[in-house]
Amino acid sequence: MPVKYRSSPQSDVATLFHDSRLAFYTCDRNGYITYYNKAAAALWGREPVIGEELWCGSWKIYYPGGRVMPLDECPMALTLKQQPLPADNEIVIERPDSTFLNLLVYPQPLFDANGLLTGALNILVDITPKKTGEEKQAILSAIVESSDDAIISKSLKGIIMSWNKGAQKLFGYTEDEIIGKPITVLIPPELQEEETVIIGNIKAGNKIDHFRTTRITKWGKKVKISLTVSPVKDNMGRIIGASKIARDITEQLQKEEAIKLNSQRLELLNAIGKKVSASLDEDSILELITTDTANITGAAVGAFVYNMLDEHGQANQLTAVFGAPKEALENSGLFTPEFLNSTLIRVDDITKDSRYGKKAPQEVGGNGQPVITSYLAVPVETVSGEILGGLFFGHPEPGKFTAEHENIVSSIASQASVALNNCRLFTQVKNLSEKKDEFIALASHELKTPITSIKGYLQILQRSDLDKAGTLFLEKSLNQINKLNSLIGDLLDVSKVEAGKLTIQYESFDLKELVLDVIETFHYSSKTHKITFSSSADQIFVEADKQRIEQVLINLLSNAIKYSPNAELVVVELNASENEAKLSVKDKGIGLSEQHQKNIFTRFYRADGNENISGLGLGLYLSKEIILHHRGTIDVISEPGKGSTFYFSLPVKHQV
Amino acid sequence: MRKKIIYLVEDDADISEMIQYLLSSMGGEVSACLTAEMFWKQMKVKLPDLIILDIMLPDGNGADIGEQLALDDSTEHIPILFMSANHSFRLPEQLSKNQFISKPFDINVFSDKVESLLVE
């Protein structure tokens, strides 16, 4: 790009100035720039317009501290105004590309032969690289000085050359004490060899990263450190020494150790917790916990004494033992929950303990058996503070149990308490549920007794001469008695299904015959509906519980009649394929919505909007259970307002 | 034809009374026992043509009594109609020639069973 310089002397000298690496420019008396050379334009990063721009070609100017310098206060302006210059002739300029330069400026006024000011010359010296280097050095020194890590440099002969505050803090020596001393004063006698290896590596130009070792302080205390050693080179690239960064990792190691211990403990507790919570049997929980905990603590003998409550609420002691016979541990007197009184006890030597000394020595099982010396007892409490029992451990050697063991056993004890509490709750629920089933069985038996005589007498009465009203009322009463009886039967059956005690008594019979018998009884009792029957086969033999299948048929037919109050016809079809007999009961009644169809086979479910139709909502639930027990299927197809078809299938019995 | 002798073993007095009425109206001669003990005493006096036996008795179990009777040559032939409020009760194999009726029952079905057992 051609640059137009108004350089009046078109001479070799002018060209020399123009290409000079020394940057300079001139202004006239009024401050307008009259000339600048290539080097000046390069520093400014721009080309000011000659004769138009004032004082300086810089885009922006600052004082060294960063404060903006007004253009008419720049050194050139001050010179031309013949005002005194500041002692510091450094300025900072910003270039259009946002880079900064540190410049030293040397403005000189120019006078004519008469001594009149004609203008000024300004020389610009770029000192930016030098400044950056110095700053870096200062920053580095500050970092080294303020670092918590010990930063030391040493010569190849192992003589300490520099020593920061971190080093003083870590090793105790002051800078004055240690400079000039050999590095080996920091190395414990047994590790002196390490220095040879380190120096060998440094001489070979290798860096040593995060080497974990031990060093010794001024006071002889050993500290765990992580060491990084790098070679230090001179300007010529020769290795002249090493820099060492040492970090105190005592705390870090302790933390690591604690984390390791913690995670081991968690794993252990987790494993025990899994095993224990998988069981609802008290005996196996006690045994698991006793054995596992004894193994963890390294105990020779252990016991878990548990104050169990039996179903009558009577206290009953259960004991699981490890390492010794139950009687022997009981005789020692140290293995009773009364002994605990809700506090944990850990004794290094129980034989020397005044509290228990009377019972010493705690012989376990007589001759040759271990004597309890180390002793650990942990109460097993509920959340509410009730003592369920205790975990007891012993070892013939003193001081076997640590605080760590104490922690673990306490954690296990709380897990045990939760698990045992679950056992208790489970047993309680089981007992209650059994009682409920017993009650329902008893109640239904007792309810049936009066029904039997009522029904008998009503039927006997039916045989006598009655007027029309009497006949009708008797019939209605008998219907209600039958309904009451089937409700009682359903309640008993539901309780059996719940308890898993619904028994199926298989016999082989003709399903067609049974269906016809049941329809026959409906002809007597239902005057409102007509039931039609069709079947493709003469006989369909199934292996099933005849009474239960009859119950299902009665339920489906009663429902068909009950839920089709405005219809007259119920259609029953029975068909057999090679593997199954399929029966359907179709009504033209109120039908079921999709939602009802989904839930109709669940317990106590009743299609709502039918509150005027009586029932407990148990019939279809029981029917489903009965059919499923026979490995059959049961379902419904329905359309609201048009009617429902319930159908079930049973496996057929192949005649041999 | 002589009146058939029927022993009725039922601990509920009302049911017992109702059944006695029913059997009498059918022309039977009924002796009612409220307990197993009374029944065994009665058996020592005379053997009946039919026994109607409730399963759950205060001092015994009808099914056990039935089995005892089946093991004795002198009583083995006497037909028994078992009764229970437990409708899922099933007669054991060795008593299968007898009949069972669950309570409450239809007196027509009851009468039919009694008659069929007496004919045999």
pLDDT in tens, A81-123: 888 877 778 888 888 888 888 888 888 888 888 888 888 888 8
Under 8 Å between Cβ of B6 and B49: yes
Alpha-carbon distances of A474 from A141, A216, A454, A461, A477, rounded to whole Å: 114, 110, 11, 8, 5
Examine the pLDDT at A656 and tell me if it is beyond 60: no
The model's confidence at residue A336, banded by pLDDT at 50, 70 and 90, is: low
Closest approach of B105 to chain A, Cα-based (Å): 7
Examine the pLDDT at A211 and tell me if it is beyond 50: yes
Cα separation of A406 and A396, whole Å?
18
Angle at the Cα of B34 from the Cα atoms of B38 and B40, rounded to 5 degrees: 20
Cα separation of A332 and B22, whole Å?
75
The reply to whether omega before A361 is within 30° of 0 (cis) is yes
Is pLDDT larger for residue A649 or for residue A74? A649
DSSP letter assigned to residue A68:
B
The pairing of beta strand A90-94 with beta strand B28-33: unpaired
Tell me the residue type at A337: P
pLDDT in tens, A2-32: 444 454 545 666 777 788 888 889 888 888 9
Tokens 């300004």 found at: A122
The reply to whether omega before B104 is within 30° of 0 (cis) is yes
Position B68 scores a pLDDT of 92
Residues of A in contact with B23 (CB under 8 A): none
Region B68-81: what's the mean pLDDT? 92
Most distant CA pair in chain A: distance in Å? 165
Q: Exposure pattern of A439-457 as b/e (b: 16+ CB <10 Å)?
A: ebbeebbebbbebbbbbbb
On whether ipTM exceeds 0.95, the answer is no
Residues of A in contact with B12 (CB under 8 A): 449, 452-453
- Name the token pair of A206: 């290798």
Cα separation of A218 and A216, whole Å?
7
The model's confidence at residue A341, banded by pLDDT at 50, 70 and 90, is: low
Alpha-carbon distances of A395 from A337, A339, A349, A359, rounded to whole Å: 19, 18, 10, 16
- Name the token pair of A570: 């119920």
Specify the long-range contacts of residues A57-63, CB closer than 8 Å, at least 24 apart: A57/A25, A57/A33, A58/A93, A58/A94, A58/A95, A59/A93, A59/A94, A59/A95, A59/A96, A60/A93, A60/A94, A61/A91, A61/A92, A61/A93, A61/A94, A62/A91, A62/A92, A62/A93, A62/A94, A63/A91, A63/A92
Specify the long-range contacts of residues B110-118, CB closer than 8 Å, at least 24 apart: B110/B19, B110/B22, B111/B22, B111/B26, B113/B81, B114/B6, B114/B23, B114/B26, B114/B28, B114/B50, B114/B52, B114/B81, B115/B26, B117/B50, B117/B79, B117/B80, B117/B81, B118/B4, B118/B49, B118/B50, B118/B79
Region B36-56: what's the mean pLDDT? 94
pLDDT in tens, A271-328: 888 888 787 788 888 888 888 888 888 888 888 888 766 656 566 676 788 887 777 7
Cα separation of A116 and A25, whole Å?
20
Q: Which of B88, B105, B109 to mutate to test the interface with A (most CBs of A within 10 A)?
A: B88
CB-closest option in A448, A459, A460 to B103: A448
| B residues 54-113 closer than 8 Å to A (CB) | 56, 85-88, 90, 103-108
Question: Which of B119, B42, B30 is closest to B79 using CA atoms?
Answer: B119
Q: Which of A444, A447, A449 to mutate to test the interface with B (most CBs of B within 10 A)?
A: A449
Chain A to chain B, count of Cβ pairs less than 8 Å apart? 56
Residue of chain A minimizing CA distance to B56: A445
Do residue B22 and residue A485 have CB atoms under 8 angstroms apart? no
